[in-house]
Amino acid sequence: MSSAHARPTVARMSGYTPGEQPKPGERVIKLNTNENPYPPSPRVFEAIGRIGADALRRYPQPLADDFRAVAARVHGVLPDQVIAGNGSDDILQIALRTYCGPGDVLASPDPTYSLYPVLAELADVRFVTVPWAPGWTLPADALLAQQPKGIFFANPNAPSGTWVAPRDVAALASRTDALVLVDEAYADFAGESCLPLVADHPNVLISRTLSKGYGLAGLRFGYAIGQPAIIEQMMKVKDSYNCDAIAIAAACAALDDQAYAHEQWARVRDERERVTRALAERGFDVIPSRANFVLATLPGGRPAKVVYEGMKARGVLVRFFDKPGLNDKLRITIGTPDENAAMLAALDASL
């Protein structure tokens, strides 16, 4: 079948471009997709080891009830305030399809996570961006002027790493009936969250992932927390068995081991401050980050692409965005102390 048979929207679009993956067997220091440099909790491996034949032979829990119970306990909410997904990308897709239909507007500050426009396009939803307000604050008036059905943004934001104060999110949510989705993929590294807003704001949904803070990007597990009425609607939209039995068991074990997770977050935060200082010493302008990556502008207006390519040739992958406003910057994931030292050496050699 040719592209002429595909839905026109699909035939026209180019789709999401995931971060570069090393080729099988290739040894690189991979600091381009904001993965956690540390392994998941040992309890995750124990839980996977306990998976028996029946758990695989049968369908998994449709609503991932075991995980909802753990998440409810950890976050101090009710199980019916939690929905689980096959990565938080799945959650974003479900939320969008629940609240936005063809012709509706999804609004986001720009730049933000580059999957949102792809999901919107796929659903024939109009994606509208407005620039962040000065100091990377929420451009609330401009967002609301778009009369959106949904407002999505990442907090901490990607790729800037900047943080919007919960009181500003609350102020925005109070002024609209639109779904305000706060994508907290990186909130574990921020030490703060907009989760408490859910209690008073029926239109706020917080999305979370185990890909970053829990070192489980390969597992594909995300979740969202909102008032039960939002979750109830989203449950109708998700695939019937969107999380598999192994993922549910592993995710329960990971989220349950908060002590282990907090230790890794602290290590990443310490390294983030060290990398930020090291880049600043080299003349980079580094936006203070609350995430597990930094966005750094090259000194002297140098094009970032050449430096990115130089680092890649030296076995270090970082992220370069060939987009106006970002093409003078590199986004660098925080690695282990050794990885960060190698990254800085490759950077020095490439400058």
Ligand X SMILES: Cc1ncc(COP(=O)(O)O)c(C=O)c1O
SS3 345: helix
| Minimum distance, C-beta of residue 325 to ligand X, in the bound complex (Å) | 18
Residue 46's CB is within 10 A of a number of other CB atoms, namely 12
Tokens encoding 301: 């207006």
Q: CB 349 → ligand X: shortest distance, Å?
A: 28
Rank residues 98 and 211 by Cβ distance to ligand X and give the closer one: 211
Closest approach of Cβ 28 to ligand X, in Å? 18
Closest to ligand X by CB, 99 or 113: 113
Tokens 């839905």 correspond to what residue? 7
Give the nearest distance from C-beta 155 to ligand X in angstroms: 9
Complex with ligand X: residue 184 or 256, whichever CB lies closer: 184
Nearer to ligand X, 198 or 219 (CB): 219
Contact 179, 202 (CB under 8 A): no
Q: 200 vs 64, 80, 153, 182, 343, CA distance in Å?
A: 26, 16, 19, 15, 44
Identify which of residues 148 and 156 has a Cβ nearer to ligand X in the complex.
156
CB of 291 to ligand X, least distance (A): 9
Beta bridge partners of 296: 286, 330
CA-to-CA dists, residue 107 to 63, 128, 148, 202, 313, angstroms: 29, 5, 6, 19, 38
Q: In what order do the strands lie in the sheet with 179-183?
A: 82-85, 222-225, 204-209, 179-183, 150-154, 105-110, 126-131
Q: How far is the CB of 306 from ligand X (least distance, A)?
A: 25
User: Residue numbers of the site for ligand X (CB under 6 A)?
Assistant: 34, 87-89, 113, 154, 158, 183, 185, 209, 211, 217, 222
What are the phi and psi torsion angles at 181 (to 5°)? -100, 115
Looking at beta carbons only, is 89 or 256 nearer to ligand X?
A: 89
